[in-house]
Structure 1
Amino acid sequence: MNNLILFSDGSVNTQRKIGYGAYFVVNDLSLNPADAEIKLKRFEHTSSTKLELQTLLWALKEIKPLTSSVTVYTDSQNIVGLPGRRHRLEQNNYYSKNNKRLNNYELYQEFFNMIDQVDCNFLKVTGHLPSKLKNRIDRLFSLVDKASRNALRANKTSSSGSAKF
C-alpha cells in the first residue's frame, strides 16, 4: 500500500452555514501544482470547525482503500490536537466539564474510528501566508485553501466534484 500525502481545507459562510471542503492527495511532494486534482464537496448545516472535520473524514473515506498510512496537512488546530485529546474525550464520554455534550462529538468519534483504521500523521500548516514566506508545503496547501474559498464565493449548487486549479 502507498503512503499518501493529503492536503485538506474548507471554507464556510457562517451566516448561511454552508461550506465547501477541498482536498487532494499525492504520493510525493514533487507534484507540479498545475497537475493537482482537487476534489470539492459542498456541506450544509456546518461551521468552520465542523467543516474541517467533515472534509477530512470525506477525504480519508475516499482514499482509505488506497493506503494504510497518510500524512495530513491541515490548518485546523482542532484536527492536529484531537489525537492528543482522545483519551480525555473518550473518558468523559464527549461531555464538557459543564456536563454538556460536546458539539461535533459524533464527528470526533468517527475521526477516532478512522485513525484506528488508517495510520495518520497530522501536520499543521499556517494558512494565508504572504507568497514570499511560503515554502513548498504552504504553496501546495494554498491550492485547497483557494479552491474551497473560490467554490464558496461562486456558491456552486453541485454537491461534489473535482477540478484542476
Structure 2
Amino acid sequence: MILITDGSVDTQTKTGVGAYLLATDGYSFSDASISPIETKQFENTSSTKLELQALLWALESISPTNRQIHIYTDSQNIIGLPGRRERLTRNDYRSKSGEPIRNEQLYRDFFAAIDLLYCRFFKVRGHQPKVGKNEIDRLFTLVDRTTRNALRQQRALNRSYEKSD
C-alpha cells in the first residue's frame, strides 16, 4: 500500500488543505488501483502542523491495519520524526526550558499511529521539473496541485464572502 500526503497553508489566515492519495500494491500511474485524491480543510494550522494533521487524518481514514504501508511526503519533519522519537519521549515532549513542545499531541498521535502499522517513510522532492520524475513524483505532483488548488478556491470563497458583507 502506498500513501502520498501533502498540505498547503495560507499563512495569513492559518487555514490549510491536506490531501492524500492511496494506491494499492502493484499500482500503475493510469490504473484504477489508485484511489481519488481526498482533501480536508484544517483551521489554525501551520505548514509543519498541517503535514502531520494530513498524515494522521489519512491514516485514520484508510485504516491500514496489518499491512505494510509506504508513506511518501515532502515533509522533512515527518521523515525525521522516527529518528527523534527516543529524545522526544525521554524528555516527555518538553523543550530544554521544560515547556511542552509545539505540536506535542500531534507527535504523540503520530507515534501511536505508526506503532499500529508497518510504515516506511520516503522523502519526495516537491516542486521539481517534469524531466526526471518517476511515477511517485508524478503522483505527488497531483496531490500537491490538488492541495494548492483547493486552498486557492477557499481563498476565493473567503474573499467573496468578505465582499458580500
For normalisation by structure 1, the TM-score amounts to 0.87
Moved over 4 A (4+): 33-36
1:9 counterpart = 2:6: yes
**Partner in structure 2 of residue 31 of structure 1:** 29
Cα deviation 1:90-132 (Å, max 9, x = unaligned):
0000111232211001000000000011111000000000111
Largest Rg, 1 or 2: 2
Instruction: Find the residue that maps to 1:41 and give its secondary structure.
Output: strand
Moved more, 34-43 or 23-32: 34-43
Q: Distance in 2 between matches of 1:66 and 1:134?
A: 30
- Answer 1 or 2: higher relative contact order, Cα 8 Å, separation at least 6: 1
* Structure 1 residue 136 displacement after superposition: 1.6
Instruction: Find the residue that maps to 1:132 and give its secondary structure.
Output: coil
Q: Distance in 1 between matches of 2:65 and 2:117?
A: 10
**Correspondences of 1:16-165 after superposition (within 5 Å):** 16-27=13-24, 28-32=26-30, 36-65=35-64, 68-155=67-154
Moved more, 60-69 or 72-81: 60-69
Instruction: Report the aligned-residue RMSD.
Output: 1.8
* Structure 1 residue 133 displacement after superposition: 3.0
Q: Distance in 1 between matches of 2:98 and 2:4?
A: 35
Give the total of aligned pairs: 154
* Structure 1 residue 66 displacement after superposition: 5.7
Q: Distance in 1 between matches of 2:88 and 2:35?
A: 36
Structure 2 gap ranges (5+): 158-165
Letter in 1 for 2:6: D
Instruction: Find the residue that maps to 1:12 and give its secondary structure.
Output: strand
For normalisation by structure 2, the TM-score amounts to 0.87
Structure 1 gap ranges (5+): 158-165
With over 3 angstroms needed to count, the CA separation of the structure-2 counterparts of 1:18 and 1:102, relative to structure 1, is same
Q: Distance in 1 between matches of 2:51 and 2:122?
A: 14
Q: Distance in 2 between matches of 1:136 and 1:20?
A: 23
Identity fraction in percent: 54
1:5–1:25: 8 Å Cα contact kept in structure 2? yes
